[in-house]
Homo-oligomer: A and B are copies of this chain.
């Protein structure tokens, strides 16, 4: 098990030659790479330049990998978000109080979207959908007549900005309302792995070994529901994962009934 860090050197031919020499010196006959896009691109280069089989395992809390329903770490991060929202909701309810909670997701709204649904948020802002702050303010005013402690989950990479930016934009539009914000940041990157992530990681790891033994290379393991699948590293890296935007309807439906 090798710990890793981003390496500028590795991006050069010389750096990779050094890496290959190290792998050969240690009689490494196969290579299992756990990570996201960047890691897989490096792994592919290594596999080409050396002649070593490579298997990718998707490991990133952001869930933004093509070719798999879930990446390892996503479920743990979601539980951290839900736990934080639960704690915010515990505070004495007030009908004119609105909480903005910024979650990770520079380019993708996976955490924000599933985090919002599973924590019963009033609204969610994600990079995949154009945000309209004026409309958001109106909706929050409407909803606050029916519920207290409204939660808005904000992906850090939303086109309207992070929680602090949204806060600044909402303040002049929502006089008489009390707005607060929380920026979870790297809290989402840690914590004890959830049972789901452990199962996924154990199963994918076992499968990676089986694939190497069977002579397979240049694929990423994916999860199609509970079934493990494979997709070529090429395809995984060249495509963009998109969250299921039909889930926005679940939030809209909850708005009208709760």
**Could you tell me which A residues sit within 8 Å of B by CB distance?**
3-5, 69, 75, 78-84, 86-92, 94, 99, 114-115, 117-119, 164, 180-192, 194-196, 198-199, 202-203, 206, 209, 223-227, 250, 253-254
Contacts and interface: CB of A to CB of B under 8 A. Distances in A.
A250 B190 contact: no
Nearest to A192: B86
User: Chain A: interface secondary structure?
Assistant: helix
Given A182-B183, A198-B82, A189 B118 contact: no
16 contacts: A69-B226, A79-B194, A82-B194, A87-B191, A88-B190, A89-B190, A91-B190, A114-B199, A118-B196, A164-B164, A180-B186, A194-B195, A196-B196, A206-B250, A209-B253, A225-B226
A83 to B, nearest CB: 8
A78 B195 contact: yes
Contacts of A92: 3-5
Contacts of A114: 195, 199
Contacts of A188: 87
A182 B190 contact: no
A164 B83 CA distance: 23
B202 A250 contact: yes
B91 A186 contact: yes
A198 B119 contact: yes
Contacts of A183: 181-183, 185
Given A184-B182, A224-B225, A79 B195 contact: yes
A118 B199 contact: yes
Given A75-B195, A78-B195, A164-B164, 6 more contacts: A82-B194, A83-B192, A99-B185, A117-B203, A180-B185, A182-B187
A215 B253 CA distance: 19
Contact of A69 (B83, B99, B190, B225): B225
